[in-house]
Amino acid sequence: MRWNKISDAVVRRLPIYLRVLEEVSREERKNLMSSQELGERAGVAPALVRKDLAWFGEFGKQGVGYQVDYLKNELCRILNLDREVRVGLIGVGALGHALARYNRARALGDETFRTHLVALFDNDPAKWGELVDDLEIWPVDALAGKVAELGLEMVIVTVPAQYAQEVVDRAVSAGIKAVLNFAPVKLIVPAGVHVANADLSLELQRLAYYLKP
Amino acid sequence: MRWNKISDAVVRRLPIYLRVLEEVSREERKNLMSSQELGERAGVAPALVRKDLAWFGEFGKQGVGYQVDYLKNELCRILNLDREVRVGLIGVGALGHALARYNRARALGDETFRTHLVALFDNDPAKWGELVDDLEIWPVDALAGKVAELGLEMVIVTVPAQYAQEVVDRAVSAGIKAVLNFAPVKLIVPAGVHVANADLSLELQRLAYYLKP
DNA sequence: TAGATTGTTAATCGATTAACAATC
DNA sequence: TAGATTGTTAATCGATTAACAATC
């Protein structure tokens, strides 16, 4: 089953629902949840919860609600998180290093965390072969080979702004389909490749708007 | 002049326009720009650029376009970036440490970067007094005092999920009006306080949706 | 059965785009 | 003046909310 043209606004909320379901499943041993409860904890109106889920199938029972574990599994499946998703990270500076350690720690401690960092890349020869936790740093030239060897599907980009487009171009030609970009630049990618931007300085500037002048 | 009820979608684009104008001003010595050109570089339709700007005043000339430096200054003013905005960071783990170093480096190298980190906080006594670059780490208990002393207006939150709400509550009672949250939790704040979420794992999970199943 | 809650359709709301008179 | 581009209004598009029949 492929669902065409699900809007980005809908896709954004699915991981939020998933997080709520995982919390409830872990903490509360509760088995059923209404769109009302789920929406409350996710910060989404109940009608919107139902409408979002209805794009993908009928997961609830009238008069009863949704089964927590069943819906959780369905959302995992929809998000391709019912398998390990293998991620590379390009640019092992301070930020890349911190994200690598964070991701590894989460992956070890929380088995519902399925986006796993499995390779690090950097262009500085001094770093090649170095380990971050148990992960080796490779030259960016090794990217294409590693994509094939390890089955990488996603990359996190933490290189300086001026190199971001270049490394993304290389990742895309190697077959990468999703990019989490921390560099403060607008990346240009072909259709079918998806970019999420995590741009610290844009967020800080946006927040500054709400300060009193 | 206060502009009531400017939508969040509009505010989000202002820093993008500002970035384009700063690039053009620095690199190209170009003095005029049309909404067409600005929109192209910002990834926004020209009519929307004009409409966004028109919320705040009339900055262009018919038949001519916008003056780059003038519009840049006006956007800085609108975003409260015509002065130093003082930011604290709570939670100096690996991620907090990396963000602190990144922000300090940007602040030194780029004088258009006006959101300055000026205080670090952590609850681990072992870290108190330690320096990150030239910035000292204080106990979280010192927060209220430092807000007053240094004029902090914003905080970056990089504590573990279970402590995030608590430290934000304390920041808010100390008078903080804007929060950049890296913890994977939905924060509850009173009206008038603004939160931007930078939730790495939600973004990775969202991107996983677009991978082939 | 009676009460509750889903899935879905219709109504509303808000944001983007198109169009154009004003004017530099 | 003629050409270009703004600021703004009207039209369109899409997302959210309200309402309710179906049904557990």
pLDDT in tens, A79-90: 999 999 999 999
A positions 113-132 inside 8 Å of B (CB): 113-115
Positions 3-32 in B, CB within 7 angstroms of strand C: 7-10
Mean pLDDT of chain A: 95
Q: How far is CA A80 from CA A6, B144, B211, in A?
A: 15, 44, 7
pLDDT of B37 above 60:
yes
Q: Rounded CA gap, B38 and B35, in Å?
A: 5
> What residues in B contact A184, CB-CB < 8 Å?
19
> What would the two tokens of residue A94 be?
């301070």
* Residue-level pLDDT at B126: 98
Amino acid at the residue B52 = D
* Residue-level pLDDT at A63: 97
CA A188-A192-A194 angle, 5° bins: 60
A positions 63-102 inside 8 Å of B (CB): 78-81, 85, 87, 93-95, 97-99, 101-102
Whether B155 and B90 have beta carbons less than 8 Å apart is answered as yes
Q: What does DSSP assign to residue B195? A: E
CA B165-B96-A112 angle, 5° bins: 65
CB pairs under 8 A between A and B: 154
In this prediction, residue A194 has a pLDDT band, given cuts at 50, 70 and 90, of: very high
Among the residue ranges A14-18, A32-36, A121-125, B100-104, the one predicted with the least confidence is B100-104
Nucleotides of C under 7 A from a protein CB: 2-9, 14-19, 21-24
pLDDT of A118 above 90:
yes
Interface test with B, best of A132, A207, A211 (most B CBs within 10 A): A207
Q: Rounded CA gap, A31 and A175, in Å?
A: 40
Is the C-beta of residue A55 closer than 7 Å to nucleic acid chain C?
no
Distance from CA of B210 to the nearest CA of A (A): 7
**Token match 């796993």: residue?**
A116
Q: How far is CA A201 from CA A95, A167, A198, A208, B156, in A?
A: 14, 21, 9, 11, 12
Q: Rounded CA gap, B93 and A176, in Å?
A: 30
Of A162, A120, A164, A116, residue with least CA distance to A140: A120
Q: Is B30 on the interface with A (CB under 8 A)?
A: no
* Residue-level pLDDT at B1: 46
Q: Rounded CA gap, A176 and A171, in Å?
A: 5
> What residues in A contact B153, CB-CB < 8 Å?
211
Of B85, B71, B89, B67, residue with least CA distance to B168: B89
User: What's the CA A18/C1' C2 distance, rounded, in angstroms?
Assistant: 33
SS3 B147: helix
SS3 A155: strand
Nucleotide nearest to A64 (CA to C1'): C5
Q: Per 3-state DSSP, what percentage of chain B is helix, strand, and coil (rounded to 5)?
A: 45, 20, 35
pLDDT of B142 above 90:
yes
Interface test with A, best of B118, B180, B206 (most A CBs within 10 A): B206
* Residue-level pLDDT at B110: 86
Reported as half-sphere exposure (CB side, CA atoms, 13 A), residue A14 has a value of 30
* Residue-level pLDDT at B212: 86
> What would the two tokens of residue A188 be?
């240009």
* Residue-level pLDDT at A1: 45
Whether A174 and A142 have beta carbons less than 8 Å apart is answered as no
In this prediction, residue A110 has a pLDDT band, given cuts at 50, 70 and 90, of: confident
